[in-house]
Amino acid sequence: MPTDIILAVFASGGFWAFIQFLISRRDKTQQRLDEIAEKMGVLSNQIDRNAAVLARTHILRFDDELLNGVDHSKEYFKQQLDDIDTYDDYCRNHPDFQNSYAVMAAAHIKQTYQRLLEKGEFRIKESNHD
């Protein structure tokens, strides 16, 4: 008797329609997940590009300050060196990205940092403690 019931369930159109529904639903879910993954990839690329553009802006501004005689602390130089690394990494991984804007500025910042490091002439941050 249980065999008859099982055979009747498998033979009915409703069972196979339900199986097709589950398969269809799975396919639609996978398609939606693929679309979301693609959008996340685009967003991730845009975030990386924005970080590189921001790093380039920091590099150019800092170099301009150096060229205008503004002294900076060793810590501020290190932040700029981090920006240079971020910018260089992005440019290396994205050869189509215009990177000529900051090449000379980055070289000047590194040279100035090296010179100040060798001479021990970094500006000392003033304390606000009274």
Kindly state whether residue 23 falls inside one of the protein's structural domains: no
Domain that holds residue 77: 44-119
What's the confidence (pLDDT) of residue 24? 76
Kindly state whether residue 84 falls inside one of the protein's structural domains: yes
Q: What would the pLDDT profile of 24-83 be if each residue is shown by its tens digit?
A: 777 777 788 888 888 888 899 999 999 999 999 999 999 999 999 999 999 999 999 999
Kindly state whether residue 35 falls inside one of the protein's structural domains: no
How many domains does the structure of the chain reveal? 1
Kindly state whether residue 96 falls inside one of the protein's structural domains: yes
pTM of the model: 0.70
Distances (CA, A) of 5 to 12, 13, 16, 61, 75: 11, 14, 15, 79, 78
Kindly state whether residue 37 falls inside one of the protein's structural domains: no
Kindly state whether residue 19 falls inside one of the protein's structural domains: no
Kindly state whether residue 78 falls inside one of the protein's structural domains: yes
Kindly state whether residue 107 falls inside one of the protein's structural domains: yes
